[in-house]
Amino acid sequence: MTGLDPLIHAPTRLQLVTTLSGVSEAEFATLRTALEVSDSVLSKHVSALVDAGYLHSRKGVHAGRRTTWVGLTPVGRRALHEHVAAVRRLIDAVE
């Protein structure tokens, strides 16, 4: 069905982009805790979504520690909205 995005359909990636949809950006450690995944798992998903242009990431210092901040790009936000609309169409077809 048109609109389903295989790049963000995987559960962890979908949780990641929906979590980021409510904020301008979030700290990597905060996302790791919220999604209950390891650093390596989150890093892999973030990298794939950055490569696709759905996320941006930047390095910085917070409370004296180096950290990575991650946020949705306009392209990523649009992809999420289109994916959600496609899922809603599927749900409506069941009812």
Domain with residue 27: its CATH number is: 1.10.10.10
Residue 36 counted as domain residue: yes
Mean pLDDT value across the chain: 94
pLDDT band at 85 (very low <50, low <70, confident <90, very high): very high
Q: How far apart are CA 71 and CA 82, in angstroms?
A: 18
Reading across the β-sheet that carries 55-62, which strands appear in turn? 26-27, 65-72, 55-62
The predicted pLDDT at position 61 comes to 86
The count of structural domains within the chain is 1
Q: How far apart are CA 54 and CA 78, in angstroms?
A: 9
* Rounded percentage of the chain residues whose pLDDT exceeds 90: 86
Measured CA to CA in angstroms, residue 46 lies from 27, 35, 52, 55, 68 at distances of: 12, 12, 10, 7, 11
Domain residue limits at 38: 6-94
pLDDT reading at 40 higher than 70: yes
The predicted pLDDT at position 69 comes to 97
pLDDT reading at 63 higher than 90: no
Measured CA to CA in angstroms, residue 49 lies from 2, 12, 25, 83, 92 at distances of: 20, 12, 14, 15, 28
